[in-house]
Amino acid sequence: MLKSQQLPSTNNTILTDDEIVDLASRILFRRLKREGKINSPLATVDFLKLKLGNYEREVFSIIYLSNNNEIIEYKELFFGTINSASVHPREVVKDVLRVNAASVILAHNHPSGNIEVSRADKLITGKLIKALSLIDVEVLDHLIIGNSYASFAELNLLTQLKQEVECLDIIKLHS
């Protein structure tokens, strides 16, 4: 529960749209943390829609999780343009190590509202799966937030990308 001193405005002051969105996202994040674990994909999507839905440029974020899938932290890591964001695997690995995460949920928005998974989305997800696997961190999902959402896990893209990374590693071992 939020205390009155944690509210952006009180004393009959009208809240702005941004303050309402910020307040709602804080409430959803507290609810996710209170429940302890990421048990509901829809609760995660609702939270991410509030966090990423109003940006007019692409924003790449991560939910860091413990080995019990308890939320450690949410962070917006990379900010891009209206149709792309540069994501640097080295910086992702560095930040994952900073919080000692065991797994992550990747997310970014498509300001256009179109949630179609692009080739670039698949490429960076594959690179991050590979980079994070080197430090024993699992990518649980990559969510694209727009008018609706797309989940790499629900679309079986995550499994496919993980298998491709494993195949490439096996080929390199035998070369």
CATH assignment at residue 121: 3.40.140.10
Pairing of strands 149-151, 103-109: unpaired
**Are the C-beta atoms of residues 128 and 96 closer than 8 Å to each other?**
no
Mind listing the pLDDT tens digit for each residue in 22-33?
777 677 666 666
Mind listing the pLDDT tens digit for each residue in 43-97?
889 889 988 988 999 999 999 999 988 889 999 999 999 999 999 999 999 999 9
In a domain, 91, yes or no: yes
Domain enclosing residue 143, as ranges: 14-173
Mind listing the pLDDT tens digit for each residue in 104-159?
999 999 999 999 999 999 999 999 999 999 999 999 999 999 999 999 999 999 99
Quote the pTM value. Answer: 0.79
- Two structure tokens written together for 119: 């080739």
In a domain, 8, yes or no: no
Q: Residue 142: enclosing H or E segment and its boundaries? A: strand 138-145
Q: Distance between CA 88 and CA 72 in Å, rounded?
A: 21
Residue 2 has pLDDT above 50, yes or no: no
Residue 1's pLDDT is: 45
In a domain, 4, yes or no: no
